[in-house]
């Protein structure tokens, strides 16, 4: 009976979250309430709660998680230093002569911003504020414009260095070791954030390529939906375009190469590379004359707010998972998934559907910290590759964030889009990109090598 109390606790926290209460307090409060009731009815052993200080200390001393505030600082600094605005204007001029060129520019800038910031909400809002008015003024179809912005803005979910991948890498690593210990392997192998970065690189670039192919298709079969920029608007800067491309594009590319390259080459850990990115972002702001003490204070304030939110949720999720296990919830989940028809395929399908639906209501941080530690060990015990599983989860959540009527990215863009853009047109415009996301998921399911080949080549099997 106490096992079903674990499911009731999970359902209870979902209700509290949907009601709008703060995530961290909802997770910890619901867990402690059920723990108290379970102790009162002798269905829960309060000794489990004695492990809370150890869990908090483990989070405090986790060096991998130090990368989170550093990457957040890097992203916020780049956002405040107008890097995206300069990139978008330059790329729009570069691709302006072709139909759909502005949409392709938004996609490429979204990719670069994803690799520079890793923060989905900030990227969608920034791209919406900068590019949506321009696209609408150029006569772009409302659905195509909003769909392109939402889809390219969520690339921060999958293209490293993504905050999602950093958090997922830490959780997947713990789940992988737990699965191996339960299978009798007392010298378990590990999986690092660097492995997940490498695994996500090809699938992320594949998504970018598919987005661009879709826009090219729209330009061919529905050219009026994606008009080119008029020649007279491009003539003013056409002579200096390549100089402008070099000046605007090279600095952020060098920063991305420095951050990702140091990780992929094994020269630095994700935390060390994040510090390089943070310092590089300051240097980039200085080089563009957009650095000031006031801006630094603003960036540090925003970084502290976001980081505090992430770690508060992490602490709440740790308490939640502890009480969940105290009720025997992990055994119940293991039994439920193991008894599903289809073995590993059936279990994986159910888990992915569950995460997809949860992505409508709760953010990726809650799903990463609450759901993945519960289902991860069970799935990995089937022999699934941890890197492949992590990338599948990241793309699945990315798809969920795009799907109407609850997609987070749609909400972000709706908040900054003009009233002339209807919500229905946004929903229609995102459908082709959701299909692309699903095709990428199917491709990754059929060919896991898309995620596993590069880590094996770089780090070995």
Q: Which residue in 30, 318, 49, 361 sits closest to 171, CA to CA?
A: 318
- Residue 237 has φ and ψ, to the nearest 5°, of -120, 5
Answer whether 173's CB lies under 8 Å from 430's CB.
no
Q: What pLDDT shows up at residue 434?
A: 92
Q: Number of helices (H) and strands (E), helices first, in the chain?
A: 22, 0
Is residue 3 very low, low, confident or very high in pLDDT (cuts 50, 70, 90)?
Answer: low
Tell me: the pLDDT tens digits for 47-100? 878 888 887 888 788 777 787 788 888 877 877 777 767 777 777 777 767 888
What DSSP state is assigned to residue 50?
G
What distance in Å separates the CA atoms of residue 67 and residue 182, rounded to the nearest whole number? 30
Tell me: the pLDDT tens digits for 240-268? 667 777 777 788 778 878 887 887 777 87
- Residue 96 has φ and ψ, to the nearest 5°, of -55, -35
* C-alpha dihedral sign at 145, 146, 147, 153: positive
Q: Determine the distance from the C-alpha atom of residue 445 to the mean position of all C-alpha atoms in its chain, rounded to a whole number.
A: 19
What distance in Å separates the CA atoms of residue 387 and residue 449, rounded to the nearest whole number? 10
What distance in Å separates the CA atoms of residue 203 and residue 162, rounded to the nearest whole number? 13
Contacts of residue 21, defined as CB under 8 A and 6 or more positions apart, other chains included, come to: none
Stated pTM of the model: 0.81
Region 6-29: what's the mean pLDDT? 79
What DSSP state is assigned to residue 417?
S
The verdict on whether omega for the bond into residue 405 sits within 30 degrees of 0, i.e. cis, is yes
Region 303-308: what's the mean pLDDT? 83
Tell me: the pLDDT tens digits for 401-446? 888 766 777 877 877 788 888 888 888 889 999 999 999 999 999 9
What distance in Å separates the CA atoms of residue 381 and residue 337, rounded to the nearest whole number? 11
Tell me: the pLDDT tens digits for 197-246? 889 989 999 999 999 999 999 999 988 888 877 766 655 555 566 777 77
The verdict on whether omega for the bond into residue 84 sits within 30 degrees of 0, i.e. cis, is no
How many other C-beta atoms can be found within 10 angstroms of the C-beta atom of residue 252?
A: 23
């Amino acid at each position: 009976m106490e096992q079903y109390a674990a499911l009731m606790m999970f359902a209870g926290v979902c209700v509290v979250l949907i009601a709008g209460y703060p995530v961290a307090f909802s997770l910890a409060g619901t867990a402690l309430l059920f723990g108290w009731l379970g102790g009162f009815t002798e269905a829960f052993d309060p000794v489990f709660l004695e492990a809370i200080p150890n869990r908090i200390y483990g989070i405090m001393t986790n060096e991998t998680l130090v990368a989170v505030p550093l990457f957040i600082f890097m992203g916020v600094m780049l956002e405040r230093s107008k890097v995206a605005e300069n990139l978008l204007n330059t790329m729009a001029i570069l691709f302006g002569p072709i139909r759909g060129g502005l949409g392709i520019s938004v996609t490429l800038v979204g990719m670069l911003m994803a690799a520079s910031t890793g923060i989905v909400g900030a990227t969608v809002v920034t791209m919406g504020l900068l590019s949506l008015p321009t696209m609408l003024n150029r006569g772009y179809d409302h659905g195509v414009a909003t769909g392109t912005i939402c889809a390219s803005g969520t690339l921060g979910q999958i293209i490293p260095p993504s905050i999602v991948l950093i958090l997922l890498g830490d959780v997947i690593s713990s789940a992988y070791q737990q699965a191996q210990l339960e299978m009798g392997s007392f010298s378990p192998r590990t999986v690092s954030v660097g492995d997940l970065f490498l695994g996500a690189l090809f699938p992320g670039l594949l998504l970018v390529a598919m987005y661009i192919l879709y826009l090219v298709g729209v330009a061919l079969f529905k050219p009026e939906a994606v008009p080119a920029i008029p020649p007279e608007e491009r003539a003013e800067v056409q002579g200096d375009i390549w100089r402008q491309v070099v000046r605007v594009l090279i600095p952020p590319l060098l920063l991305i190469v420095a951050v990702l390259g140091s990780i992929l080459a094994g020269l630095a850990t994700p935390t060390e590379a994040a510090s390089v990115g943070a310092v590089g972002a300051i240097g980039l702001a200085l080089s563009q004359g957009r650095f000031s003490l006031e801006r630094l204070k603003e960036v540090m304030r925003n970084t502290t707010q976001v980081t505090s939110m992430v770690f508060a949720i992490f602490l709440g999720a740790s308490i939640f998972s502890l009480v969940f296990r105290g009720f025997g919830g992990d055994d119940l989940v293991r039994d439920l998934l193991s008894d599903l028809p289809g073995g590993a395929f059936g279990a994986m399908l159910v888990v992915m559907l569950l995460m997809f639906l949860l992505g409508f209501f709760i953010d990726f941080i809650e799903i990463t910290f609450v759901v993945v530690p519960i289902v991860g060990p069970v799935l990995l015990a089937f022999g699934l590759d941890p890197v492949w599983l992590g990338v599948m989860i990241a793309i699945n959540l990315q798809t969920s964030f795009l799907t109407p009527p609850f997609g987070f990215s749609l909400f972000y863009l709706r908040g900054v889009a003009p009233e002339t853009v209807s919500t229905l047109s946004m929903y229609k415009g995102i459908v082709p990109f959701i299909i692309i996301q699903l095709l990428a998921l199917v491709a990754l399911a059929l060919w896991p090598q898309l995620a596993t080949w590069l880590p094996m080549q770089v780090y070995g099997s």
